[in-house]
Amino acid sequence: MLKCRVIPCLDVKDGRVVKGVNFIDLKDAGDPVESAIAYDAAGADELCFLDITASHENRGTILDVVQRTAEACFMPLTVGGGVRTPDDIRNLLLAGADKVSIMTAAVHNRDFVREAAEKFGSQCIVVAIDVKQVAPGRWEVFTHGGRKPTGIDAINYAKEVVALGAGEILLTSMDRDGTKSGFDIILTRAIADAVGVPLIASGGVGNLDHLVEGIRDGHATAVLAASIFHYGEFTIREAKQHMKTAGLPVRMD
């Protein structure tokens, strides 16, 4: 039976982890590779790196991080942040990423999604969608960390990128992100039910019940969280045990 996935996400800037992992005695809490190894050992189902490097000159640092991670961890790795061209995707895949997530570039040019899926296969193209509620039952796609509205309806957009070849949706509620008040379940379910591809719920996880709600009520197939894992509030194993007790299928290998 297919298990639901628990995915820790690390923000990486200039090759270093921002908001470093401090749940375990790492020699260097800023080294993404060390954090990746720790999560691999802890039973994470996938790992996500979000590259938030601002300067163009340092964009290459993520490739080195991905390459070193792939040498040490034999688990699936998704990398996103600043992916704008087919060459960006190719370089990340060659470095060892299994999936690449596209956000702003897909908003500005939908054809990029089609091109990416045709060239590299839908299975490795994740479209990340940052969303804010603009009216009851209406959500809009935002860019620039939730600061820039696009006027695009989130549900229609999700359907559109899936039709163009996206193999997975990474949905983040910018209303909930950082609030620890749980996923926006109505939003998550609306999009999960509207598309035929797997959906990763993100934004707002503050406790383990939230993870259960994302899957059970939000119909997501995977849940992504950062701070509850990085700061050692809960281990991956505790999260999975909690989900298992709630009756969800999880991998406890």
Catalytic residues: 11, 130
Which pairs with CB-CB distance under 8 Å and at least 24 residues apart come from 69-74?
A: 69/32, 69/33, 69/36, 69/96, 70/95, 70/96, 70/97, 71/96, 72/33, 72/36, 72/37, 72/40, 73/36, 73/37, 73/40, 73/47, 74/40
Nearest to 140 by CA among 110, 108, 174: 174
Residue among 3 and 180 whose Cβ is closer to another protein: 3
Under the rule (CB under 8 A), what is the footprint of another protein? Answer: 1-5, 40, 45, 67, 70-71, 74-76, 93-98, 118, 120-124, 167-168, 196-199, 219, 221-222, 251, 253
Measured from the CB of residue 121, what is the shortest distance to another protein in angstroms? 4
Q: Toward another protein, which CB reaches closer, 24 or 70?
A: 70
- If the CB atoms of residues 47 and 226 are measured against another protein, the closer one turns out to be 47
Q: Whose CA is closest to 52, among 116, 104, 123?
A: 104
Give me the least distance between CB of 226 and another protein, in Å please: 20
Q: How far is the CB of 145 from another protein (least distance, A)?
A: 27
